[in-house]
Amino acid sequence: MTLLEGSVGVEDLVLLEPLEQESLIRNLQLRYEKKEIYTYIGNVLVSVNPYQQLPIYDLEFVAKYRDYTFYELKPHIYALANMAYQSLRDRDRDQCILITGESGAGKTEASKLVMSYVAAVCGKGEQVNSVKEQLLQSNPVLEAFGNAKTIRNNNSSRFGKYMDIEFDFKGSPLGGVITNYLLEKSRVVKQLEGERNFHIFYQLLAGADAQLLKALKLERDTGGYAYLNPDMSRVDGMDDDANFKVLQSAMTVIGFSEEEIRQVLEVAALVLKLGNVELINEFQANGVPASGIRDGRGVQEIGELVGLNSVELERALCSRTMETAKEKVVTALNVVQAQYARDALAKNIYSRLFNWLVNRINESIKVGSGEKRKVMGVLDIYGFEILEDNSFEQFVINYCNEKLQQVFIEMTLKEEQEEYKREGIPWVKVEYFDNGIICNLIEHNQRGILAMLDEECLRPGVVSDSTFLAKLNQLFSKHSHYESKVTQNAQRQYDHSMGLSCFRICHYAGKVTYNVNSFIDKNNDLLFRDLSQAMWKARHPLLRSLFPEGDPKQASLKRPPTAGAQFKSSVTTLMKNLYSKNPNYIRCIKPNEHQQRGHFSFELVSVQAQYLGLLENVRVRRAGYAYRQVYGSFLERYRLLSRSTWPRWNGGDQEGVEKVLGELSMSSEELAFGKTKIFIRSPKTLFYLEEQRRLRLQQLATLIQKTYRGWRCRTHYQLMRKSQIVISSWFRGNMQKKRYGKMKASALLIQAFVRGWKARKNYRKYFRSGAALILSNFIYKSMVQKFLLGLKNNLPSPSILDKKWPSAPYKYFNTANHELQRLFHQWKCKKFRDQLSPKQVEVLREKLCASELFKGKKASYPQSVPIPFHGDYIGLQRNPKLQKLKGGEEGPILMAETVMKVNRGNAKTSSRILLLTKGHVIITDTKNPQAKTVIPLNSLAGVSVTSFKDGLFSLHLSEISSVGSKGEFLLVSEHVIELLTKICRATLDATRMQLPVTVTEEFSVKFKEGSLMVKIIQGPGGGGTGKLSCKKKGSRCLEVTVQ
């Protein structure tokens, strides 16, 4: 039992203290804010709509609640459904689950959860699964045709539904029967602002393909239909297209044929088309007002859709035939009457279609008459309603809720009385409000409001809502639960909220004021016989079957029963059905008006709690004993409070409970001992028991902790003592071993000295004095031989890159070992050089020269090491035109490359071709090869280059005039390492002098007119790319940025 400890608030309101309306609502609010949406009132479940998906409905929760009884886990709808199902299966008691609450409170979802739970826990098998699927798939069909978006709820059920699910003796579903109550058919022709018509119309227009819409003569735009609210064509969180496909699939699963589905959609389309039939004023020849149809195309399309003569339909809409036993009189209808007839026809067609769907579903899920079966009924019906303007619909809805409240009180008291009798406890009569007087006020056969309404509808002469109200005022002037303006005036009371056309009934949930306007029309619910006959003449099988009274052979002058009489009869049948079953209640509450998750409106919930009679429910449950529990469970929970029953009790459960409560000195007035249960009168006594249990648990926890700590300390001490003994023994043994070892070592040392003394004595006696030197030389040579032979066998590989070398075994071999390593490396280098071709030798010499010039100085040098020097980068060998640039210079071309020349005047660069021969450097324009500059190598005074990754360099000349140029050259090369290396080697070969190469970030370039200072700086990028940006700083300075 988890009702008290670790719970949020009070899980069962029967145990609520103090028992007041405010504390009840506060408890619901506290639990709702912690996402605990379910609360008990005994075996009644209160459900607060969370407006969000909670993770408490998966298969894990189904399995959990399946294995426990009602009070063993937290309140949940699965617990109530499981209790009802187990009672039906194991005790053969028919069950009914009554789900009530106002629109938006979550009644429909609650009924789905009950059905899904029962489907999950009942038997398996192909036939059983088929029945379960049909029962579950009836929901999408009924929701599509019976639900609509209202201001309060996006998926509001606009009809009452009672479903009997029938099971076999094993608890497996066999089928079911659905009964519907009071479909809100007025919604077909008119909706309030912010509301929609029934879902099916929007699903049909959004989900049907173009071919189907064409066959139904419909357009996809909802704005083209008078019966649809164009501002509410879409609803957040609702996909009409997908829902239409779900509807078609569900109808197929239930057993509808494709032809039946097509006919249902055609009748739905007919209702939409009727709304677009526009009626206009006309006058007969005698000047009597009449009506006509503005555009006959709409009527013609209706006729084509359902096989109906458009002329007959027009005549039925615009005229009425009055038939008596002797004659027939045809009367023309004015526009208002014709519009009423058109809307009445649309409402009747849709209402009868809905009834046909329910009957068709029942045919598919019905059970054979020969099988014995158990029944579980699920009632999803509208809750008590108090609106600003309450009409006939609210009157019959509240009448139904009065009857349900009567059933609840009577059956709850009956169940309490039966339990008391079963347990052998005296039953004391409970004082409670009996709403039978209100039910009698409404339903009395001769003097009830419904009887007066039927009498007024059937009375000849002038009949109106005012005459009906006058009759009520006369009949119920002194009734304690009836008020009107007339009765208030008679009692000299003034109430400005009471209108002249209103009356008020004091219901169990509060006073409700009803406006009698349209009571007569809504109760009559008349459809002109002409329209019934016209529909029967249609060649559409389904539409024709909906109007059997249109058949002339079955024509009857008898007036059909009124809507009130039909509803009263349905309620009577429902009450009889409920009285024959064991009831289970789910009270649904809407926490706020805006469907917001987490928001709890105290005022709104208070009103609903009053409507649902929650406080009255709690008081009825607490009228006798608030808490009862079987002896075994009670003793298991509280036996720790008595020394006689703790920690072990061998007697009976009842005796044990008496021992526990006797030692606690509980008042005898607070307790009653039944045959199998203990009864406790007030919640305070139970809370006292819980507090004593909590204190006792603390004492036991302290005792357990004390015992555990003592055991742990003893165990630790014994382990330490045992360890100390082991350590001591090992220590003493080790001490003795060390002492023995020292004694043995001393003895051996003494023996060695004695033997040595004897050996030396014998040596001096028998050997020459030079023997020691000979022996040492022999040993040394042996060691050298061993070292050299070992080195021979462990020589490293002949690769010049392999620098491994065995280390010397003794320190005095280190010098010889290093020299041998150097000689071996020189030998490997010579062997490697001997294998090289002259071209490879030249390449290595160039790489060596580049290393001497740039290693550790130029940032781009490491990248150039693995790249072979190519020499020709402009395709000189394959291009004879470029070979002519050499002119008459001697020798081969050592380097040919395209370089960029930096202009000293504007810092811009231009492309040039640079050729290097053995004696000259030739620089020529790429566009004009004739314009070239020839620089002898002996005229070069030096080269300046930066340390960055760029290719900028300057050729310094010893004499500018000898070259014939304007000055020294500032060039940029992509292969600067290779180019300068080749220039240095060619200069050395030509002049026998080393060309100076300066690595610097600042140098001067000379011209005939003067000199230009070049400064190289590193850009923000760190000079990683090597790209150059040149900028002139004055007339004598050039700044180069390396990116």
Active-site residues, by number, are: 103-104, 108, 153, 156-157, 383, 385
Per-residue HEC secondary structure of 344-368 comes to HHHHHHHHHHHHHHHHHHHHHHCCC
| DSSP state, residue 389 | S
What is the distance between the alpha carbons of residues 64 and 74, in angstroms, rounded to a whole number?
A: 11
What is the distance between the alpha carbons of residues 779 and 180, in angstroms, rounded to a whole number?
A: 120
Residues 10 and 583 sit within 8 Å (Cβ to Cβ):
no
What is the distance between the alpha carbons of residues 912 and 874, in angstroms, rounded to a whole number?
A: 11
User: Could you tell me the two tokens for 614?
Assistant: 């929650």
In this structure, what are the phi and psi dihedrals at residue 924, rounded to the nearest 5 degrees?
Answer: -135, 155
Strand order in the sheet with 1028-1032: 1002-1006, 1011-1018, 1037-1042, 1028-1032
Residue 88 has, within 13 A of its CA and on its CB side, a CA count of 31
Q: What is the DSSP string of 296-333?
A: HHHHHHHHHHHT--HHHHHHHHHEEEEE-SS-EEEEE-
3-state SS class at 710 = helix
Residue 699 has, within 13 A of its CA and on its CB side, a CA count of 8
- Residue 500's CB: how many other CB atoms inside 10 A? 10
Report the run of H or E that residue 568 belongs to, with start and end. helix 563-579
Choose among 655, 643, 662: nearest CA to 700: 643
Residue 209 has, within 13 A of its CA and on its CB side, a CA count of 3
What is the distance between the alpha carbons of residues 706 and 684, in angstroms, rounded to a whole number?
A: 33
Which positions ≥6 away from 616 have C-beta within 8 Å?
A: 409, 432, 433, 508
Helix, strand, coil percentages for the chain (3-state, nearest 5):
50, 15, 35
User: Could you tell me the two tokens for 563?
Assistant: 């809507």
What is the distance between the alpha carbons of residues 794 and 774, in angstroms, rounded to a whole number?
A: 30
Q: Please report, as a single letter, which amino acid is at residue 16.
A: L
- Rounded to the nearest 10 degrees, the angle between the axes of helix 335-365 and helix 258-275 is 160
Pairing state of beta strands 1028-1032 and 1011-1018? unpaired
What is the distance between the alpha carbons of residues 188 and 185, in angstroms, rounded to a whole number?
A: 6
List 287's β-bridge partners, or say none.
none
Residue 316 has, within 13 A of its CA and on its CB side, a CA count of 25
User: Could you tell me the two tokens for 75?
Assistant: 């309140």
Choose among 974, 970, 889, 874: nearest CA to 926: 874
Q: What angle do CA 645, 649, 652 make, to 5 degrees?
A: 105
Match 């760029």 to its residue by tokens. 950
What is the distance between the alpha carbons of residues 503 and 442, in angstroms, rounded to a whole number?
A: 13
Q: What angle do CA 289, 335, 292 make, to 5 degrees?
A: 80
Q: What is the DSSP string of 579-627?
A: HTSEEEEEEEE---TT--TT---HHHHHHHHHHHTHHHHHHHHTSS-SE
Sign of CA dihedral 392, 394, 397, 399: negative
